[in-house]
Chain A
Amino acid sequence: MLEIRDLYKRYGKFTALDGLNLEIGKGELFGFVGPNGAGKTTTMRIMSGLLRADSGSILIDGIDAVAQPMKIKEKIGYMPDFFGVYDNLKAMEYMEFYASIYGIEGLEARELCRDLMKLVNLEDKEDAYVDGLSRGMKQRLCLARSLVHNPELLILDEPASGLDPRARFEMKEILKNLSSMGKTIIISSHILPELAEMCSSIGIIEHGRMVIKGTVDDIMSRMSASNPLIIRFASGKQEAVQRLKENPRVQNIAIQEDSVAIGFSGGQEEEAELLGSLVSQGIGICHFGREEGNLESLFMQITKEDGNEG
């Protein structure tokens, strides 16, 4: 559905996108994660034709986004990170205005807009003035607006930013719903856990490059290989610590009350071997395994180099 190859974008001397590559399949709900200033908005603006890249290519559904911007615009619905609404315009008129841009008018437009507003739970706000709506409502209205021409690809730049937990939840449900309707969706955010639970795959961008990409489980297991090995003992803790210290694969040991956490370089086979040897020495082990990765620490780990930038 979407294919980005070697995308470069410079603002003066500053390199915002540094050879970004990205591929997204049809029907995916893709989470585009990265810290502030990583280049998410820049990428999305290039995708939707608001910004020109210095080099690189973007194919959407096999169509070159640079060569045929009009065709691309029919295929995408874009929701910017910041946007405004018009004064003196009612929600329904707002929707109908954008529908009319795509040639949808009259009764047909009215029905379509009504359906879309229902989809984003705004069916009771038809006659409310848009500038009087709450931020969450505006964001949902803007989402509905981006759907008027039934685009295949939705590009949503931080659709949940500035929303309270309940509104975030609602937004998530709407997006899941849209995804189940077969839309391909890209959502950007700098909060990984928020995306992880609804996205089919995620990519982490950092300094204008894709650092890691895959399904959430995939990324978690890849990262957890470097997590400490936790061993909890029922008995024989002292002896076990002695043994572990002799093991060349053990890099460090942190001793807690009834367990130890060790930095262990080795794959699953070496782990099994270690467990076997400890058990055969008569040490009572009631828990043995790598520490579960948590998304937040994963994100911090990947993007740690520039924690204090900006």
Chain B
Amino acid sequence: MKVRINPVYKKELKISVRSIRLSLVIFAYNALLAMIGLLAFYFNFDANGYRNISYSSVLVVYTMIAILEFALILFVVPAFTANAIAGERERQTLEILLTTTLKPEQIIIGKLMSSISTIILLVFSSFPVMAIVFAVGGVRFVDLLQFMVFACITSVFIGSIGVLFSTFFKKTVPATVFTYGAVVILTLGTLATLLIIYLLVVQSYENNYYNSGAVGNYNPPGLGNLTLLLLVNPAMTLLSMITKQYGSMDIFKEVLDSFGGIHESIVNNWYYISVAVQLVLSGIFLKLAAWKLRTK
């Protein structure tokens, strides 16, 4: 059997490999990571002497790199994917594609894959540097793998939003702006929304409480299942993953609890649930983009 690679993806790959930019970016990125890694180890080991290797400082290095890569994804993926369809439209190559037998789904998927492949390549290329951490201990191989999966899924999630905006807007600029906007809303907006709602709820509870003479226990209500909104927040996914890898999810639970708790089993499996939710959303976004491409 012959496996057919998505033609759009294959073509984009050919173009991106051709430009020297890609190899420069990979080199610069890994050089930076290596530097951070070495510096971190220097301060952890040499400065303190070998006796005091603390696993927690190894974890700090790992966490730092993980957050760095996460931030990179949030910054880079919107710029690449928002260009996917709108760029093709601006270059006046989209119409030709649409008159071929290529299905809109194929165009969308090919574009998404090619737009996020660079960043995923970057993430995977940092594997060796990150692997230094588990050479020391503290972080296991599966933890690292889990992070890679997380990085891929976040790229797909953000990428599908970018591609969606890219099909809805005729121009690259508004598509890019809206994609960054969506990233801000997902990461900070969800938290801010919950915070505002929470404050309003507490406020009205307090008004009631004191107006009725402050009898009974002071026990403001939580937000309950509204907190599940955070499942779409990739930053929360990362937080749940890292805190779990640390052993206890205390910090993560604290954040969630501040809004009023949700079910224990959801908190414990937050990573898997949120990843699933984000994948389903990505599927919906991509379907929507293909539908938009099909209607004229």
Residues of A bordering B, CB below 8 Å: 48-52, 70, 73-74, 76, 78, 80, 82-89, 93, 97-98, 100-103, 105, 142, 145, 149
The reply to whether B93 and A84 contact each other, CB–CB distance below 8 Å, is yes
Could you name 18 residue pairs across A and B whose Cβ atoms are closer than 8 Å?
A50-B95, A50-B296, A74-B101, A76-B99, A80-B96, A82-B92, A83-B96, A84-B92, A84-B93, A88-B15, A88-B18, A89-B15, A97-B11, A98-B96, A101-B7, A102-B101, A103-B4, A142-B96
Contacts of A89 in B (CB 8 A): 11, 14-15
Q: A74-B101, A149-B100 are in contact. List 9 more A-B contacts (CB 8 A).
A: A49-B99, A73-B100, A76-B99, A86-B15, A88-B19, A89-B11, A97-B10, A98-B96, A102-B101
A85 to B88, CA, bound (A): 9
Give how many B residues have a beta carbon under 8 Å from the other chain's beta carbons.
Answer: 19
B15: chain A residues at CB < 8 Å are 86-89
Min CB distance A191 to B, Å, is 23
A100 touches B92 (CB 8 A): no
Q: Which residue of B lies closest to A48 (CB)?
A: B99
Closest-CB distance, A84 to chain B (whole angstroms): 4
Q: Which of A78, A100, A149 has the most CB of B within 10 A?
A: A100
Chain A: which residue is nearest B98 at the CB level? A50
Contacts of A86 in B (CB 8 A): 11, 15, 91, 93
CB proximity of B294 to chain A, nearest CB, Å: 9
Inter-subunit contact A73/B99 (CB<8 Å) = yes
**Alpha-carbon distance between A141 and B7 when the two chains are bound, in angstroms:** 19
- Taking a contact as CB atoms under 8 Å apart, the answer to whether A70 and B11 are in contact is no
Instruction: Establish whether residues A100 and B7, one from each chain, have CB atoms under 8 Å apart when the complex forms.
Output: yes
Contact status A98-B14, CB under 8 Å: no
Pick the most buried of B91, B92, B93, B99: most chain A CB atoms within 10 A of its CB.
B99
Point out the residues of chain A lying under 8 angstroms from B99, CB to CB.
48-50, 73, 76, 78
A145 CB contacts on chain B under 8 angstroms: 96
Question: Which of A52, A74, A98 has the most B CB atoms < 10 Å from its CB?
Answer: A98
Q: Which residues of B contact A49 (CB under 8 A)?
A: 98-99
Instruction: Decide: A93 near B14, CB < 8 A? Known: A83-B93, A84-B91, A100-B7.
Output: yes
A142: B residues at CB distance < 8 A: 96
B135 at the binding interface (Cβ < 8 Å): no
Closest A residue, CB atoms, query B89? A84
User: Which residue on B lies nearest to A85, using beta carbons?
Assistant: B93
Complex contacts, A105 vs chain B, CB 8 Å? 4
A51-B296 in contact (CB<8A): yes
